[in-house]
Amino acid sequence: MITNIAITSVFVKDVDASKAFYLDVLGFVENADITLADGSYRWCTVSHPSQPELAVHLTVPGPPHSPEMVAAINRALDEGGMHGLGLNVDDCRKTYDDLRAKGVEFIQEPEERPYGVEAVARDNSGNWMVLVEHKAFSPADFG
């Protein structure tokens, strides 16, 4: 029986730079950072301090993906078109201001939505990060 989601992977351009971004800019904490002795694989995970059971695996595109898939992922990263994480926030406008002051690129300023206030940023590899300050809603709110 599946009991929860334990890990999600985010493709990044550089694990060290992305780890620093997630720790220093977003306030995540390190879970693990292990490289095989032969250097062929790195397992680096971070998590939000309030959600340590959900690890975010930061990984560069590579095997077992085909070279064509790796190239496509890298193109998507370069274009800033990869989806990353959805992040809950207490105050979307304040979080927007705080992250902008830290140099985070936003592609959508905070906007009212039927489900709350939403802003969209990019991490340092170009992955989208959707920030949502939730509010109660019903299906009728989308009409």
Domains by residue range for the chain, with CATH = 7-141 (3.10.180.10)
* Residue 96: both structure tokens together: 């927007």
Q: 3 vs 6, 8, 46, 53, 87, CA distance in Å?
A: 9, 15, 21, 12, 21
CA nearest neighbour of 113 among 89, 87, 83, 137? 137
**pLDDT, position 143:** 81
- Cα(143)–Cα(140) distance, rounded to whole angstroms? 5
* Residue 63: both structure tokens together: 């095997």
**pLDDT, position 62:** 93
Average pLDDT, the chain: 96
Q: Quick: pLDDT tens for 26-74.
A: 999 999 999 999 988 999 999 999 999 999 999 999 989 999 999 999 9
- The model scores a pTM over 0.85: yes
Task: List residues bridging with 45 in a β-sheet.
Answer: 32, 57
**pLDDT, position 34:** 97
- Cα(8)–Cα(6) distance, rounded to whole angstroms? 7
